[in-house]
Each structure stands twice: as structure tokens, then as C-alpha cells.
Structure 1
Amino acid sequence: NAVYNLTASGLKLQQKLEWYSEEEDVQMCITKGKEMENCQNYIRVLNVVGPGRILVCGTNAYKPRCRHYQLSPTGHYVQPEDKGEKSGQGICPYDPRHNSTSVLVDSEVYAGTVADFAEVDPLIHRWDSLRTPQYDLKYLNAPNFVNSMQYEDFVFFYFRETSEEYTNCGKAVYSRVGRVCKGDRGFPRGGSRHRWTTFFKARLNCSIPGEFPFAFDEIQSTSVLLPTSQLGSEVVYGVFTTGTNSITGSAVCAFKMRDILDVFDGRFKAQQNANMHWLPVSPEKVPEPRPGLCVNDSTTLPDQYYIFVGSHTLMDEPVQPLLNRPVLTRATQTHRLTTIAVHTNATTPDGQAYDVLFLGTDDGKVLTVVNVGRELVSTVVIQEIQVFKTPVREMMFLGGSPPKLLVGSDHNLKLMNVRQCFTSKIKTCSDCVALQSPYCAWHKRESKCVTIPLDRPISRRDYIQNVSSGNHTECPKSASSSLGPNSIPSEQTKGTAKSVDSSGSQTITILSDDGLTKEVAHEGPVVVGPRESYTAETLSIAVGVGCVLAVLLGFIAGWGCAKRCRKDHDNIPYPDTDYEYFEQRHNLNINTRLVGEGKEEATYAEPVLDGKTSANVMPQGTHHQPDHQETTMFHFAQPYTRDLYRFEGDLNSSRGRPDAFGSLRPGGGIHLDGFGTAHRVPAQAKATLPISDGYGTARC
């Protein structure tokens, strides 16, 4: 809901322009199912369109609007009397978090965004003029735009999208660079007159070379076009990552602008029908003039030209990175790279120029990286600072003396001094040289690590520095050295203060989203030794020992639980008896005999319900001798001789016999109740007739 006008030197607030959405737009946004937080006016486009005149576009509660502001005589930006407000559809996204881009070229706004609420109509658009066709996947397939820029007669767009040429083999996301001509006037007639005639795209390849290259397919950010003496050409640096469901990996690749132009001058790629692969188009099928070239009037071209550009938007060859490999790769579970800013041609006292890369991460860090190689890629991480606790979204390198870096998150801006030498931390010459920083050198006369001044001439003889190797013959590595070449300093932030530490600490100016600014003294990284690493053999031994210990602990725990859970007391059905309970369930027809003992005799009888119950009968069937047999609840008729219960054999034999339900019981000393339950009679208890209790249990 606001635009801040800040000073580049210290982020001092000059003016705040407030722009809130109308109440009816907010209510409509909420009615459509969006959260109140998203139904605000997020400023996504800001371009200087003329002297003292700016264009501002916001999401406006999912109803994009644009307006102009002009500089008043008082030095403040105000809205003109006619307000100059119009729809921002096709220039500004609806969703505040959608990945969009825009650039002002020759007073015209070019944008890559979406043109509808549902985000199903992506487009590359020149405001109020030309656009890519709707719902044509050959042009754009769910793109995420990251940057746009002008070069010569072209406007370039960098984005990632779902690969249309890979559709027959699965689903993949590729990084792209697309371009259009600034002078494109569209098709000559009909419904196609608002379509580009010069839009083409090519794949950006950022991969580790080999027999099976490992690709970083998703572009996240690019630098501006940079003239670099180290690489000898105009170069664009890009941050690439692996997919979200892949291993966590990031890379930085550099692309020469000349290589990009050569790819667009090469062969096209097309698909004859939906069931065939994408193949290169033979030069004989390419019309004249060659599609993609900028002509004076695109409405006067032959019909073959329009037919060809409508179905051939993809170039055959990908754009290869400089030196055919990434400048930097990182594979870590802690973070991914998100954005990049570059300080080109940082000159050292010996006259060498280096490119210094500043890389933001999704866990709030800023990495400072130097490419120390010339013909080969060789990068050194010279600094790693924890700036935010949230992802770094944008960074901008600001020149001047001293140069600064503007770092932005979702809610904060920080202005950082990029030249850090930590003179209070580094005490030896070897440690200073081992930093491999173009900004730092060991001063011979002062005998300390200093920041190389940029605002006055310096004498090479006064400084000791070696960015390429981290070692110097005049500065041998001492035994007390705490930093080796190519080591990564750790990050620490200490306290807050209002003053600037002249000893080399870093002053960060913070602008929070509440509009307040403050200065934080940040002493920067602490110089430490190389991080400890472990070999594969050490890891294997550790894993093996851990497995053995886990097995032993599991065995001991299981043995202890089994011992505690053993319940011998469960063999007795009732604690107040001294009878032992046995039961084995087998098939009813199994006629197995067990060894018996004793000569007791048992009779089976059918229990008959009797209305009288004696008070002397124990209902639980415990050992109790009733006074009179006639007073029991059940009385028995003649011995029951059904086949199911009949035991054919000698009851007094020592062999076993089945009970009423097929359970095997020993023959001696056993009496059966009415339900086939067997009890062992103690030796001193002698009886020849079964007597029933209240529940049909046989007693002697």
C-alpha cells in the first residue's frame, strides 16, 4: 500500500506515497476466496518513464491498476490532476507472489506476467500493443518469469516453464530465454494483428558436464547485462536450482550475450504432430526473410512467414554456459540460492580484475564468491553472512566509495558494506592473504590486514595479496595461522550500536516495513580454520557400530520385557483353591490318549435344572463339600452315554481320555463337570460319585 523514496547512501526516507485499494475492490477480492492479507495493493511495477515522471502499478486486491506520479516543484512526487490511472492488466500480476517481470524500453513497457485472475493466461506483452497468443503452449507453458532486459534491437525475457518438447517423455521444467524485436508491429490483419511476429525462445543449459550431465533446470534469478574484462565479453550471470522434489542443489552459470544471439541465428525445432518427437527443421523449410530478424514493417511480410512463426517458436540448440560448466555449484540441505548481484572488474593492487558475486539464499544468508580462475572455473567463497532469518528476495550492487550492497527480504531492506577485511579478527599476514578477497591485503608498513582504498592511487609495493592461490612468498604460512586457502568463514552477528566501527566492522542500515530505519553494527564473519570433514570409511564404520549397538539394545530390552511379563499365577483359575487348571483345545474327533495315574472313576450326566438352590453351594465352583447331595441346584439322571461324551475303554486304565468338548485329560485322578472341565483331585480327597454344585461342576 505504499512506495518509499529512499537515499542510496543510507536508506533515509525522503517520501512515502500511500496507495490503498478501494473498499469495494477489497470486498470483491474476499468474496472470490482470497485472504485479507492478499487483498491489499502490492506494488509490483515501478519504472521511470520520463524526467520527473514514474509509473507505478499494484495488484489492487486482485484488480491490477497503474498510475503516474510526477515530480512537483517542492521535490516531492504527486499524482497529476487527471490522475493518469488505468488498468494494469497484462503489466502487473493479480497475485502479489506471482513471478513477473517488466522493463521500460524506449518509453514503452514490456512485461512478462499473467492476464487473468485464475493465472491460466500467461503472456509477454507490450502495453496496449502486442502479446503472445492465448492458451498456446508452444509459446508459453506455465512460465515463471525472473528478469527482462534490452540488448540492441531486442528485448529479452528470462523464465522457466514446463517443457513442451519433453511432453512425450514425461514432465520436466526447463529454463528459457525468449526475445522479441522492439520494432515488431504484429500481424497484418484479422484477429492475429496483436500477436508478436518475432517471438522465439531457447533453452538455457546450466549443467555439470559428463557422460550423464547433471542439470540445474530451474532458473531463479539473473544479473543485469555486465561488461566483464575477466571473461572478455558481455555476460549475464544466472542462479539455477534443481527441482523442489529433487536433491537440494544450486548453481551459478554465466552466459555470453554473443552465444545467446548465435543460438537464435541457428536452426529451429518443431513437431510434425502430437505423437512425434521434436526435431530440427531443415534450412530449406525456413522462409525468407529469416524469422526472428527485426524488419522495418512486420505487416508486409509474405504469408509463409506468418505460418512459420505461428508453429516454430523454439530454437533447436540450447545456450551453453561459459566454459561449458557452472561457475559455482552448491549441494546442501540447509539452503538454496535465490538471487544474485555482481561487482564486475574489482581491481587488485597488481592490476588484476575479478568478478565478485553476491548470492542470496532462502535461509537469509549472503555469500560472497570470487571467480579466481581465468581459463578454468575456480571459485572461492570468501564470506558468508547471516543477514535475515527469512529468504533473501532481491539484491542490488550499488557503486560508489565505498561500494554497498542493497539486500531485501519480504519485510526488510539492508544496506551492507561489501568490503570486509575484519582487521580486528585477523592478526597474521598468512591469514589475510588466505582470504583471497580482492578487497583485502596485508599492509607491509602497518603490519595489519587492511581494506584497499578505491578513492586514491595506491602503491603495489605496500601491499601483499594473492587472490588466485591464497599464498604469497613474502608471507609464509605461520604455525599459528587459523585460516587456510579456500576456507569459508563462519557467520556471527554481534549486538547493535548506533556508531560505525572503524576497525572494519560492517554497518547495516535496516528499513523495516514499518517505515523506521536503524543502524546495526555487524562485525561480520569470524575467521576460523577449515571445516572438519569425514571420509566414507569413517562413515561406514560409524554406521556399522550403530547397527550392532541397536541390535544388542533391542535384544536386552526384549528379554527384560519377556521376563517381567511371564505370569505363572495365571494357571490357577481361582486364587482360593489349590486346584491346577489344564486345558488343551484339539479337534473333537482326535482320539489321543494321555498317560494317567490313579484309579478314580468319573460319570457323565446331563444336568437338569432344579428350582431349589442350597445355601451350601458355592456358585463359583470352588472346592466345597456340600452337606446333602439332594439340595443341589442340579441333580443328575442316569449316566449320560451319548456318543459325543462316551469314552470307550478302561476308565481305570493309565491311558488318557477325551472330555465333553474333545479336550484330552489324564485318566487318573480326574473328574469331569457337566461342561467338560477337568479338575485334579488331591491325593487325600477320595470319592467315587460326582456331586454337582450350583453351576454343574462335578465334585467329590
Structure 2
Amino acid sequence: MALTDRSSARPPLLLLVSCFLCAASSFPRDLQAISVLDESGDFPAFQSLLQDNRTRRLGLHFQGMTRVNRMLFITARDHVFAVNLTTAAEAFVPQMTLTWRAADVSKCAVRGKDGDECYNYIKVLVPRDDETLFVCGTNAFNPACRNYKTSTLEQVGSDLPGQARCPFESGQSNAGTFADGDFYSATVTDFLASDAVIYRSLGDGRPVLRTVKYDSKWLREPRFLHAVEYGRFVYFFLSEIAVEYTTLGKVVFSRVARVCKNDNGGSPRVLDKHWTSFLKARLNCSLPGESLFYFDVLQSLTGVLQINGRPAVLAVFTTQANSIPGSAVCAFYMDDVEEVFSGKFKEQRGGDSSWTAAPEDAVPRPRPGSCAGDGPAADFKSSVDFPDETLAFVKSFPLMDGAVPAVNRRPFYTRTASGSKLTQIAADVSAGPRKERAVVFLGSEDGRVAKVLVATLPHDTSGSRLLEDIDVYDPDKCDLGVREEDRRVLGLELDKEHHALFVAFGSCLVRVPLSRCGRHGACKRACLASRDPYCIWLRTGRCADTAPGFKAGFEQDIEGDHSNMAACAADISATSRDREMAADSAYGKPPPTAAAG
């Protein structure tokens, strides 16, 4: 059963403070890292085309990264870089580079925009099919899109308008994905960023559709995070100003919205050329107690993964900007999402500011938000045939009353008393030689990455563990400026096949190995006590990184008590450790030690 929204009507800061005080005895303490790594100099890094004086002077200005097969595509200002993941360990340099600069920056300057925005920031890079990438850029406040060959980055066809597919400036959020030949985008449609939209276009068999314009019940100052195709729907994950809490000021809630892929829009009378299936629900990432302690602001999330054998997404949340600083990692089962969308609708009663669940007898048939030809709407061939009552209801009440509960009804990991806020997440839900462990990597505002072994099962009493706290940002390689936000982790991309995590900052990307097991050398106690699923104790008497398919000739004990094992000499030099890691890595080759670029 989905959890209902149990927030009180008090301002968010007072609510969080009182909740913190009433639950102080049971409030989780921040986990202490088993291993802390403050030496980032050995990690390979990429800044930009350093041989290009203009690019070197302007910097990278990272916008995003997308993995397609064995290539990592990095979008930046005026450029797309393609890095071969197979060779990135030896030389972190692009194999292909696409340069796409704005054709006319004069119009951008005339509009009074800052000179730093009068470039082409590449905000969209989405595989269109097996051979084509769909790429869009801000183009000096005149968004444009192109198709490129994935294998060569050669342009295919002519330029396309970018409006409603790409934002106008680098700081604006967007999300997009292709599903059944249609491009589903979430961004802003105008120069002033006053019209946020979820939009479908580019398909051959479906009409162009959008959300209702300037309707705060549909979208209110959203920040779009992710779009994913799943089953009959496309889902959008976002945070926005909660329209149901307007009396308390601008309170941010996190949402999941969905639309049917076969939506054809409404009738000429109601929702013509607009979604008929758009619904949204709150994501509940909170600590249980007499009063729930909410982490309301969605920062980053994964695609659909398997958690406890069920499809789910993992996400990072933070608290409200004016509240106690804190971050949390929550997961959500997709069938719990579906259950909430099958539940009650939330409505505002007349001129009253209060929002309550709409009575069932007020919900028309077929059920608003249904997909034509399926379930409650099985008798309707197309959404254009829906009764006006159904269309009018979903236009006025797209918000669900229930909130999607987190897996196990609580976060997997929290950080409230120490460290900076978390910003990004990447997850390996089949870590270790037996592929039975879940490890999440969490980027933060201060340039560090936390590696957490998460306990996903409700009966797992061992709890989650903070395995490593890694300082990834290297000012010598990333051109540290005077701004503190330069250290903020902007993206994480997992390359499990090559045992690597790519960490993105505004000015550089850093390639970090998933583990550093060789540091434990010949100390079995330290190797096992690291509790790292990527570390194994070899019969040769050394600790090594496990490789895919490595099934025999090793020991690993994640839960065990290693305090009674023999202690090891603590004076192994870093050089010795590096040699041991090179000699005994299960990958059969030494890890990278020199930075490229």
C-alpha cells in the first residue's frame, strides 16, 4: 500500500527542527568511512583539447556524459568528445571530437545576455537508434538540434529547431529520451524560461503533444532530472515548487510524472494537442518517526535497475534550502510507482487552500490518466475518443494524493551531521564476484566521492557501510578557480566492464578505479576488513581487485568479524603497495598512474 502524505501544515524549517528534536534518540548517525583517500594525483584526468588554444583558454564547461556501447560521449561548451572506454585507463584522451560553435552570437549580445552564455552549450545527446545520436545545443540562445553518426560524429541531414527540445542557456535543466521513434523532452520553451514543458516530437506516427501552458497544477518551476521509458509509459523525474503547499511559501517537492506512449491528445474541445495521460506523484524519501523527516529535493538518480529482484530506481535527495542540511539515498520500486498512480487523486476544494483526496464517486470513467486500449480504457481505440468528463478531470487534477514510498520505507544511507551535500549517484547492483552486492557511488559539493555498500533487504541488520571517502578533485589538473562550486561533482558514470568510475566537474573529468584493493598488500585482515565487494584475497597471499567472471581461488567475507585475525605490519610503503597491486591485480595489468591531458 502506498504511503499517504502526512506532512503537517507547519513551515518546513520548523517541521524539520521539531522532527529532529523529537527523534534525536533514534536519528541515524553519519557513517564513518572504513577508508579515507585524500591523494587524487594518480587519477587520470581530462580537461579539454589542450592543443587548441581557444578551447584551452575557455575551458571544458562540462554539461553531461552518456555511455553508448564502449564509448563515453562528453558534452561541453562548443564540443562533444568521444572517449574509448577500452583505452581510457592508459590514456584519457578523446578518440573523436565534434566542434559545433554558435553561428551568430550577435543576437545573443543584443538580447543583453552575459558573454559567457553566448556560446553553444551541448545540453542534449541521446541515442536515436543504433547508428545515430540526436544532439542539441543552446546555440547562443537560439537552440538547435542535429543528427550525427555514432561511429564517426559526422552530421546526418540538416539542422532542426531546438525549441522545446533543448534549453536556452547552460544553467537550465532538461531531460530527454527516445521511445518508439518519438523524442520525449522536458525543458523550457522560451527565452525567459517562463514556460516549462514535457514535450513529444519527431515521431512519424504520433502527433506532437505537450503539457498545458502556464498551469501550475501541471508544472511549477520544475527542475528536470531524468526521463526513462518503462513499459507503456515514459517517466520523468523532477523537483518543483509544491502547488499544494503555497501557503507555506516556495516548498520544493520531488515528483515522478508519466505519460502514455500511445497518447494521441484530447478532443477538439478539451486537451487538444495536449497530454491526456499526464499524472504526477510525490516521491517520499524520509526517516520514519512520530513526524517524518523529509529529504525533499531530488538531485540525481539512476535508470531502472534491479533491487531485490524488482525493477527500481536509486536517487539522491537533499533537504530544503532553508532547513537542516542533509542528504539521503532512497530507492523506489516501479510497481510502487504504479500503485500510487492507480490510487486516489488530490484536489483543491473550491476557493479553499487545502488539498484533499478526491472522492471516488467524483472520478469519471474511463479513469483519467489511463492509456487508450488498455486496462480501464480498453474500450477506447484512441485518447481522442475519451469523454470530455475524463479529459476535463485530468486537466484539473493531474496530482495523485498518495506519495511513492521508498524501498523499506526509509533511506539506504543518510548524511546530516558531517560532510557536504550529495549531488550525484551511480550504482552497481551486481557488485562482487557473486554479483549479489549493491554499491552506490555518491558525488558531493566538495569534490569527494563516497562509496557505500548498501543493505537493500529489510531484514539485513548489518546496515549500509561507508567503504571509502575519496577526494577526487585535483586542482593541478582541474584548474581550480576562486569559486567554491568548481569542486561540485556534476556527473558520475559507471564503467563496470573496465573497473572505473568517471567523475565530472565543470572543468574536468577524472577516471577513478572502482577499488584500490592492492593497498592492503599482503595483509589478509585489512583486505577482508575493508568489506569491499570488489576486493578478494588471493591464494597467492595478496589482496586484489576482482575481475568479471573471477569465481575461484579467493576469499571474501563482507559481514564477518575480523578483529581476531592476526594484525599486519603497518609500515608498508605506498610504493610497495603499488607494486603489489600491479603484480596481483585480478585484471592482470597494473592500474593507471599517469594523467592524460
Q: TM-score, normalised by structure 2?
A: 0.76
Please point out which of 408, 416, 425 is paired with 2:504.
Answer: 408
Q: Secondary structure at the match of 1:363?
A: coil
Distance 2:493 2:276 in 1: 34
Q: Secondary structure at the match of 1:62?
A: coil
Distance 1:56 1:332 in 2: 41
Letter in 2 for 1:255: F
Please point out which of 79, 82, 90 is paired with 2:155.
Answer: 79
**Are residues 1:437 and 2:532 paired?**
yes
CA-CA distance at 1:190 after TM superposition = 5.2
Please point out which of 388, 391, 398 is paired with 2:495.
Answer: 398
Kept after mapping to 2: 8 A contact 1:57/1:67: yes
CA-CA distance at 1:376 after TM superposition = 4.1
Letter in 1 for 2:187: T
- The match for 1:271 is 348
Q: Say if 1:300 and 1:28 are closer, same or farther in 2 by CA, change over 3 A.
A: same
- The match for 2:188 is 114
Kept after mapping to 1: 8 A contact 2:525/2:567: no
Please point out which of 541, 555, 562 is paired with 1:447.
Answer: 541
Q: How does 1:626-665 map to 2 (within 5 A)?
A: none
Kept after mapping to 1: 8 A contact 2:312/2:332: yes
Distance 1:248 1:431 in 2: 34
Question: What is the identity percentage for the equivalent residue pairs of Structure 1 and Structure 2?
Answer: 34
Q: How does 1:677-696 map to 2 (within 5 A)?
A: none
**Are residues 1:457 and 2:551 paired?**
yes
Q: TM-score, normalised by structure 1?
A: 0.65
- The match for 1:68 is 147
Q: Deviations over 1:36-70 (max 9, x none)?
A: 11110000111222342221100001110111223
Q: Say if 1:124 and 1:509 are closer, same or farther in 2 by CA, change over 3 A.
A: farther
Task: Give the structure with higher Rg (CA).
Answer: 1
CA-CA distance at 1:32 after TM superposition = 1.9
Distance 1:418 1:424 in 2: 13
CA-CA distance at 1:440 after TM superposition = 1.3
Q: Deviations over 1:640-665 (max 9, x none)?
A: xxxxxxxxxxxxxxxxxxxxxxxxxx
CA-CA distance at 1:442 after TM superposition = 2.8
Q: How does 1:293-442 map to 2 (within 5 A)?
A: 293-295=370-372, 296-332=381-417, 334-348=419-433, 351=434, 353-372=436-455, 374-376=457-459, 378-388=463-473, 390-400=487-497, 402-421=498-517, 423-442=518-537
Letter in 2 for 1:354: R
Letter in 1 for 2:557: N
Distance 2:363 2:594 in 1: 56
Q: Deviations over 1:652-685 (max 9, x none)?
A: xxxxxxxxxxxxxxxxxxxxxxxxxxxxxxxxxx
Q: Larger deviation: 330-339 or 101-110? A: 330-339
Kept after mapping to 2: 8 A contact 1:268/1:316: yes
CA-CA distance at 1:170 after TM superposition = 3.8
- The match for 1:256 is 333
Q: Secondary structure at the match of 1:309?
A: helix
Distance 1:232 1:138 in 2: 35
CA-CA distance at 1:12 after TM superposition = 4.1
- The match for 2:205 is none
Please point out which of 102, 107, 110 is paired with 1:28.
Answer: 107
CA-CA distance at 1:208 after TM superposition = 0.7
Letter in 2 for 1:429: K
Q: Root-mean-square deviation (CA), in Å? A: 2.4
Letter in 2 for 1:38: E
Q: Larger deviation: 61-70 or 197-206? A: 61-70
Q: How does 1:37-186 map to 2 (within 5 A)?
A: 37-70=116-149, 76-80=152-156, 83-127=157-201, 129-186=208-265
**Are residues 1:466 and 2:562 paired?**
no
Q: Secondary structure at the match of 1:192?
A: coil
Q: Say if 1:268 and 1:383 are closer, same or farther in 2 by CA, change over 3 A.
A: same
Distance 1:329 1:235 in 2: 19
Kept after mapping to 2: 8 A contact 1:416/1:508: no
CA-CA distance at 1:198 after TM superposition = 0.3
Q: Secondary structure at the match of 2:408?
A: helix
Kept after mapping to 1: 8 A contact 2:270/2:392: no
Kept after mapping to 1: 8 A contact 2:432/2:546: no
Q: Secondary structure at the match of 1:410?
A: coil
CA-CA distance at 1:409 after TM superposition = 1.5
CA-CA distance at 1:283 after TM superposition = 1.2
Q: Deviations over 1:518-556 (max 9, x none)?
A: 4xxxxxxxxxxxxxxxxxxxxxxxxxxxxxxxxxxxxxx
CA-CA distance at 1:298 after TM superposition = 0.3
Kept after mapping to 2: 8 A contact 1:168/1:277: no
Distance 2:557 2:351 in 1: 58
Q: Deviations over 1:114-139 (max 9, x none)?
A: 11111111111112611111110000
Letter in 2 for 1:68: N
Kept after mapping to 2: 8 A contact 1:323/1:376: no
Distance 2:530 2:268 in 1: 63
Distance 2:281 2:341 in 1: 7
Number of residue pairs the alignment of both structures matches: 479
Q: Say if 1:424 and 1:169 are closer, same or farther in 2 by CA, change over 3 A.
A: closer
CA-CA distance at 1:107 after TM superposition = 1.7
Distance 1:49 1:264 in 2: 29
CA-CA distance at 1:278 after TM superposition = 0.5
Kept after mapping to 1: 8 A contact 2:271/2:391: no
Q: Say if 1:333 and 1:199 are closer, same or farther in 2 by CA, change over 3 A.
A: same
CA-CA distance at 1:290 after TM superposition = 1.0
Q: Say if 1:314 and 1:107 are closer, same or farther in 2 by CA, change over 3 A.
A: same
Q: Secondary structure at the match of 1:77?
A: coil
Q: Deviations over 1:238-296 (max 9, x none)?
A: 00001223222100001111111100001101012232411101111111111122114
Kept after mapping to 1: 8 A contact 2:452/2:468: yes
Q: Say if 1:118 and 1:2 are closer, same or farther in 2 by CA, change over 3 A.
A: same
Q: Secondary structure at the match of 2:392?
A: helix
Query: Please, which runs of 5 or more residues in structure 2 have no aligned partner?
Result: 1-77, 203-207, 373-380, 475-486
Q: Secondary structure at the match of 1:319?
A: strand
Please point out which of 472, 476, 488 is paired with 2:564.
Answer: 476
Distance 1:94 1:397 in 2: 29
- The match for 1:659 is none
Q: Secondary structure at the match of 2:95?
A: strand
Q: Say if 1:142 and 1:76 are closer, same or farther in 2 by CA, change over 3 A.
A: same
CA-CA distance at 1:384 after TM superposition = 1.6
Kept after mapping to 1: 8 A contact 2:543/2:584: no
Distance 2:262 2:213 in 1: 22
- The match for 1:563 is none
Q: How does 1:518-667 map to 2 (within 5 A)?
A: 518=597
Q: Say if 1:335 and 1:282 are closer, same or farther in 2 by CA, change over 3 A.
A: same
- The match for 1:243 is 320
